[in-house]
C-alpha cells in the first residue's frame, strides 16, 4: 500500500510540473519576468514568445537564483537567445559584469559563450538593446559543456591600449598550425584607472589591413570594435576558413580602448569532458 502511495504521489508531482527534467533546466525563458527600467514593457504571448519594448540600455531581466542562492553554470558552455523575428537594433546579452556578447541588428540568434570566464556564482542575466525598439524573444537556453580546448600560447606581453593609443602584432607564422573552428583567445584585464571610462573594447584585424576578423563579426559595432565586460578576463573568437587563410598570410593586429592584454592563445578541440 505504501509503495502504491509513493508511486501515485510521484506521478502527481510530475504531472504538476514539480519535477524538472534535464531538458527543462536548460530552458531559462520563463525566468525573464521584469525590466530594469520602469519605462520599458514586456509581455508573454500565448505561444511563450516574450515581447520586449526596449529603451537604450534598459534590460529584460531574468533572476536565475535557486533557493535564493546564486547558481553555478560551470557545467555549461554558453547561453543562446533565439528571437522570433530578426532584431532591428543592436543587442547585448550580459551575465553580471563578467560575460557579455553583442549582436548586430538583423540577427535571429545571439550566443553568449562562457569561454575563460568564472560563471560559478550567477544571480541574474539581462538582454539589452542599444536603441529603442521591440525584441521578440522565442527562447533562451543553456548549452552543456561538451568540448574542452587544448591551448597553445602564441603571444605574450603587456600591451596597455589606453585610448586606442597602442596595439600589438602576432606574426603570421604563429598561425601555421591553425585550422577552421579553432579559437583565438585574448587574455587581459580591463583598465579601470580612469573613473570616466565606463566601457572597454578591442578590435582585431588582419595585420596591415583594415579588415576585421570574420569570426566575431556578429559582435562588432559599426567600427569593427567588440565590447567586453567590466570584470571579464578573456574573450575568444572562433576562426573561420577566411580568418585562418588571412592570419597565415598576414598575421594579426589588435588594439582597443582601456584594456591591458598579456597573452594570446590558439585553442584546439581536445577530448570531451568525461571521455
Portions of the chain given CATH number 2.60.120.430 = 22-144
Mean pLDDT of 241-251: 98
Tell me the pLDDT band of 22, cut-offs 50, 70 and 90.
Answer: low
Instruction: Give the DSSP letter of residue 49.
Output: P
Which CATH superfamily does the domain covering 22-144 fall into?
Galactose-binding lectin (2.60.120.430)
Instruction: Check if CATH label 1.10.3470 holds for domain 149-269.
Output: no
Q: Look at residue 266 in the predicted model and tell me its pLDDT.
A: 97
Mean pLDDT of 141-161: 93
Phi, psi of 198 (to 5 degrees): -120, 5
Mean pLDDT of 230-235: 89
Mean pLDDT of 189-201: 95
Question: Which grid cell sits at 268?
Answer: 584546439
Q: Which helix (H) or strand (E) holds 250?
A: helix 241-250
Cα–Cα nearest to 120, from 76, 60, 151? 76
Distance between alpha carbon 187 and the CA centroid of its chain, in Å? Answer: 16
Cell numbers 527534467 label which residue? 21
Span 38-89, pLDDT tens digits: 999 999 999 999 999 999 999 999 999 999 999 999 999 999 999 999 999 9
Amino acid at each position: 500500500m505504501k509503495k502504491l502511495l509513493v508511486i501515485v504521489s510521484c506521478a502527481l508531482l510530475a504531472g504538476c510540473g514539480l519535477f524538472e527534467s534535464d531538458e527543462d533546466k536548460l530552458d531559462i525563458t520563463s525566468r525573464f519576468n521584469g525590466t530594469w527600467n520602469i519605462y520599458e514593457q514586456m509581455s508573454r504571448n500565448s505561444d511563450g514568445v516574450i515581447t520586449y519594448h526596449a529603451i537604450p540600455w534598459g534590460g529584460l531581466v531574468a533572476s536565475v537564483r535557486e533557493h535564493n542562492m546564486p547558481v553555478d553554470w560551470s557545467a555549461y558552455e554558453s547561453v543562446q537567445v533565439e528571437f522570433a523575428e530578426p532584431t532591428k537594433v543592436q543587442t547585448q546579452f550580459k551575465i553580471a559584469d563578467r560575460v557579455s556578447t553583442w549582436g548586430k541588428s538583423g540577427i535571429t540568434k545571439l550566443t553568449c559563450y562562457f569561454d575563460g570566464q568564472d560563471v560559478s556564482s550567477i544571480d541574474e542575466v539581462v538582454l539589452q538593446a542599444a536603441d529603442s525598439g521591440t525584441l521578440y524573444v522565442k527562447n533562451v537556453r543553456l548549452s552543456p559543456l561538451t568540448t574542452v580546448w587544448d591551448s597553445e600560447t602564441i603571444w605574450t606581453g603587456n600591451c596597455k591600449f589606453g585610448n586606442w593609443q597602442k596595439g600589438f602584432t602576432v606574426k603570421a607564422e604563429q598561425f601555421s598550425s591553425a585550422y577552421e573552428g579553432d579559437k583565438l583567445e585574448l587574455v587581459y584585464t580591463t583598465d579601470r584607472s580612469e573613473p570616466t571610462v565606463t566601457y572597454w573594447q578591442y578590435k582585431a584585424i588582419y595585420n596591415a589591413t583594415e579588415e576585421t576578423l570574420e569570426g566575431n563579426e556578429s559582435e562588432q559595432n559599426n567600427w569593427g570594435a567588440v565590447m567586453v565586460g567590466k570584470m571579464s578576463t578573456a574573450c575568444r573568437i572562433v576562426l573561420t576558413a577566411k580568418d585562418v587563410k588571412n592570419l597565415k598570410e598576414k598575421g594579426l593586429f589588435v588594439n582597443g580602448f582601456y584594456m591591458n592584454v598579456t597573452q594570446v592563445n590558439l585553442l584546439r578541440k581536445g577530448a570531451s569532458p568525461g571521455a
